[in-house]
Amino acid sequence: MKPFLFPSISLPASLMLFVLLFFSDLMPVVRSDGASPDQQEAIVSAPLVTPVVCPDVVAPPGVDTLDIQAVATHWPLTAANPDPDGNPVTPNYEARYDIDQDGDVDVVDIMLTSTQWGTIGAPPGIEITSVPTYGVWGVPLRGRVGCVDPAAFRVAVYIFSEGWWTKPTFASPLTIINPDGTWQTNVTTGGCDQLATRFAAILFPIGATYRPANGSATIPAEMLVHPHVIVSRLPGTRTLQFSGSTWVVKSTGTCRTVGPGPNYFSDTPGDVYVDQDGRLHLSISYHDGRWWSTEVINTDLTAYGAYTFTLASRVDTLDPNAVAGLFTWAELDEQSHAELDIEASRWSDPGAANNAQYVVQPWGVAGHRHQFPMQQTQDISTHGFLWQPGSVHFASYQGTASPPAPGDLIETWVYTGSDVPPAGQANVRLNLWLVNGQPPASGQPLELIIQSFAFSPAPE
């Protein structure tokens, strides 16, 4: 496809030259680790507090050469043979010494522990090592702790499922830590727990005051003074390939509605699919006794650069109860979610003059939202934004020609306020959904066709 440029934006000449030259060859960026979405969700991602593994074997406190020598003299220590010399006093195999968790203590673990040499009195730490697959019931959340006496602590677990909830139950809210520092918690004990998208684990000292969560917007602040970690998972299991990237299809099943809307979200192949020409189809459809919206989520994390969305169906005549969204979203950012929006909607007002908007969240702050009337003369349109530290440049135009003819430019807007989110933790999302979950005004199914998506990173 041709590059997405930012016409008629008042930019310094040097920056406009950068836009014209650097984005002349847009190439999608893909993951380099080869991990599938399920594998990505199985590892710890974006902890709020860096976990600390404490392989401090002998005095003085802190990891030093004495600890390395103490462990090395007892090779091989393995999970299958944890005490080869039969002496429980000498260092034995423990998960906390097996830094890479491969079942033995070897030179790799020694190399990893060396990164902590000289840390005196390493603080207690906790991490989540395994997250259940989305939508699955009965698989525990697993993790481990370090630098503490397991008998003196418990793990307080919360999940976010349209609000934060105590797990496993209100009657038994704390999880016992095993002698080797590992722990596991049942996080599907009621309601629609299998649809949770965030998990929090807190290293909680016995005797401290516990605070439960019962659907609250945040975890009790008193709990977050303790060492903790929060991770997320994407809300779906079906994936598809579109524009050179892997996308997860959002799904709720019939358990409950979720945001935006709220709506039920379908992942059935008839509702969201890529056609033989490589175009993505999103829909709003009625089946199984309810209206369904659709959303897909790029598995790559965002970076600074240019994001380009080419649509192959008109959005200026979209049903007034529907919203077409092209945006970024970070699950773990509970303030603004690093959300940048391009949206087409009349927000259930058929007579609204404005039917499109650019938003840098939070939208309710003055100067964060730019609404405008969009009128198309053809099906194809191009929309995008250039995301840089300190600024976001939005633009839309008809067709795909770049730069567009003067008559094809729809709108541009530049945000340079203090709330430009940092890149790095969000995913690109595309959706078609219903305002407040109400049916289309027409009573008919709707479709949005996205011809392509492209991203080109800003130079470092």
Q: Domain check: are 166 and 267 in the same one?
A: no
Q: Which of 334, 46, 337, 338 is closest to 216 using CA atoms?
A: 334
**pLDDT at residue number 104:** 77
Angle (nearest 5°) at CA 281 between 276 and 285: 130
**pLDDT at residue number 352:** 97
**pLDDT at residue number 122:** 53
Q: Does position 330 have pLDDT exceeding 80, yes or no?
A: yes
227's CB contacts (< 8 A; 6+ apart) are 49, 123, 124, 125, 126, 202, 203
Task: Note the Cα 274 to chain centre separation in Å.
Answer: 23
Instruction: Tell me the average pLDDT across 336-341.
Output: 95
Contact of 82 with 74, CB cutoff 8 Å: no
Q: Which of 258, 257, 236 is closest to 246 using CA atoms?
A: 236
Q: Domain check: are 148 and 86 in the same one?
A: no
**pLDDT at residue number 386:** 97
Helix (H, G, I), strand (E, B) or coil at 12: coil
Instruction: Tell me the average pLDDT across 278-296.
Output: 98
Point out the least confidently predicted range of 293-297, 355-359, 423-427: 423-427
Residue ending a domain, choose from 90, 116, 142: 116
Q: What token pair was written down for 407? A: 């008559």
Q: 372: left (phi > 0), else alpha (psi -120 to 50), else beta?
A: beta
* Residue 332 belongs to a domain: yes
**pLDDT at residue number 141:** 98
Q: How confident is the model at residue 2 (pLDDT cuts 50, 70, 90)?
A: very low
Residue ending a domain, choose from 208, 232, 256: 232
- Domain holding 176, by residue range, is 124-232
Q: Domain check: are 277 and 358 in the same one?
A: yes
Q: Domain check: are 307 and 419 in the same one?
A: yes
Q: Does position 315 have pLDDT exceeding 80, yes or no?
A: yes
**pLDDT at residue number 395:** 97
**pLDDT at residue number 96:** 62
443's CB contacts (< 8 A; 6+ apart) are none
Q: Domain check: are 197 and 300 in the same one?
A: no
* Residue 254 belongs to a domain: yes
Task: With 0.75 as the threshold, say if the pTM is over it.
Answer: yes
CATH number of residue 133's parent domain: 2.60.40
**pLDDT at residue number 59:** 45
Q: Which of 182, 187, 212, 190 is closest to 199 using CA atoms?
A: 187
Instruction: Tell me the average pLDDT across 388-396.
Output: 97
Instruction: Answer with the residue of higher pLDDT: 222 or 107.
Output: 222
109's CB contacts (< 8 A; 6+ apart) are 55, 71, 97, 98, 99, 100
Contact of 143 with 126, CB cutoff 8 Å: yes
Q: Domain check: are 146 and 256 in the same one?
A: no
Q: Domain check: are 130 and 221 in the same one?
A: yes
**pLDDT at residue number 67:** 58
Interatomic CA distance for residues 199 and 109, integer angstroms: 28
Instruction: Tell me the average pLDDT across 246-272.
Output: 97
Q: Domain check: are 69 and 183 in the same one?
A: no
Structural domain tally of the chain?
Answer: 3
Helix (H, G, I), strand (E, B) or coil at 453: strand
Q: Domain check: are 278 and 337 in the same one?
A: yes
Q: Does position 3 have pLDDT exceeding 80, yes or no?
A: no
Tell me what the pLDDT averaged over the chain comes to.
Answer: 83
